Amino acid sequence: MGSIPSGISGSRAAAILGFNTFKTRAGVWLDIMEERSPGFSERHGFKYEAFEGNAATKWGTAFEFEVITLAEMATDGEIYDRERAFEHPQLNYLTCHVDGIYKDDSGMSSMAGATLHEGKTTTIYSFRDEWGEPGSDRIPENYMVQVQHQLLVTGAARAIVSVLVFPNRQDDWEAMGIDPVWVAGDWAGVLNDMGYFHQYHVEANKELHAAMLPAYVDFWANNVLGEEPPEPANYADVRMLVTAPKGTVIADEKLDRWATEYKAINEESRKINKRKNQLKTLLIAEMNARADRPVDDDSVEKIVLRDMRGNKLCQYDGKTFR
């Protein structure tokens, strides 16, 4: 198995380009700087938290081999060079490791016409919301960036993205005490038979690659080599980058405008929350006074308020009002 590259890898590409909902450029920057110089964050007053994984990554890792097996069955092809690491031929900080490469019987020695294998797992809920028609190239944006990054770095012509869909959330199975390592071999075939395995075909997009490269070069030259943190994208970034605040600032027109707007929004939010609590109190008290007996199966263990057409407006179960 090849080593996992530590430059701008496929898993980091979406964050650098702004397509990752879980991580920002600042988060990637902290990861890379720690790999280049352990202790970098502490020396510079930044907050670095290594990702320890979660239920989704644990289940994805446990099913990697099974997804490869299903992909080979679906394509009637062989996948080799699993977890192979690559560097871009000119920009060696652009790296990736691929889940596998489909064997070409023509004896081709270069990657120019190669087809990459990319394996994924997801839940039925994410699949319905984020994935398109099987057989198309309609995959989630962050995965599309990752795959195009791999095609850019390797020079491969295309990729087949194989996804195994779980009919339940991984966290729920974890709570039930199910270990994915124990069940992967048995479950994968059953899920495939049930129609929970799909494939998507993604061609290398040269125009997209040309648009990605300047962002990579800028990030590496200015943020990594220049050791300058990216602009924070959200409050979480600020908390990572500004850990020892001190000093006094005299506001200019811009800062004064922002601070005034923030105070106004904060005051409005306080008023909204106060009124929200008042309405919640009134609703629950009045609903309780009128609810003499259950009127349907849904209201046996909670009070349900419906409009005159029967649509649910809100409910209270003794703990939660929604």
Question: Domain limits at 145?
Answer: 10-239
Domain identity same for 157 and 207: yes
Residues 230 and 180 in one domain: yes
Residue 289 covered by a domain: yes
- Please indicate, yes or no, if residue 194 is contained in any of the structural domains: yes
Does 176 lie in the same domain as 226?
yes
User: Is residue 244 assigned to a domain?
Assistant: no
Residues 189, 311 share a domain: no
> Is 247 inside any structural domain?
no
pLDDT given at position 107? 53
Tell me: do 133 and 78 sit in the same domain.
yes
Residues 322 and 314: their CA atoms lie apart, in Å, by 5
Question: Which token pair is 60?
Answer: 């994805």
Are 99 and 150 within one domain? yes
Both 182 and 131 in one domain: the answer is yes
Instruction: Tell me whether residue 22 is in a domain.
Output: yes
Among 239, 269, 300, the domain boundary falls at 239
pLDDT tens, the chain, 322 aa long: 334 446 999 999 999 999 998 899 999 999 999 998 999 999 999 999 888 789 999 999 999 999 999 999 999 999 998 989 999 999 999 999 999 999 986 555 578 889 999 999 999 999 999 999 999 999 999 999 999 999 999 999 999 999 999 999 999 999 999 999 999 999 999 999 999 999 999 999 999 999 999 999 999 999 999 999 999 999 999 999 999 899 999 999 999 999 999 999 999 999 999 999 999 999 999 999 988 776 777 788 889 998 988 898 999 999 889 8
Domain boundary among 185, 210, 239: 239
- CA angle in degrees (0–180, nearest 5) for 150-153-154: 80
Q: Are residues 258 and 231 in the same domain?
A: no
Q: What integer best gives the mean pLDDT of the chain?
A: 92
**pLDDT digits 0-9 by tens, 121-169:** 999 999 999 999 999 999 999 999 999 999 999 999 999 999 999 999 9
Domain count, the chain: 2
Q: Are 156 and 118 in contact (CB under 8 A)?
A: no
> Are the CB atoms for 85 and 129 separated by under 8 Å?
no
Whether the Cβ atoms of residue 199 and residue 74 lie closer than 8 Å to each other: yes
The domain that holds 45 is classified in CATH as: 3.90.320.10
Asked if 235 and 259 sit in the same domain, the reply is no
Query: Are 184 and 269 part of one and the same domain?
Result: no
pLDDT in tens, 15-57: 999 999 889 999 999 999 999 899 999 999 999 988 878 999 9
Are residues 279 and 146 part of one domain? no
**What would you measure as the largest C-alpha separation in the chain, in angstroms?**
80
Q: Are residue 221 and residue 84 in the same domain, yes or no? A: yes
**Final residue of a structural domain among 239, 272, 305:** 239
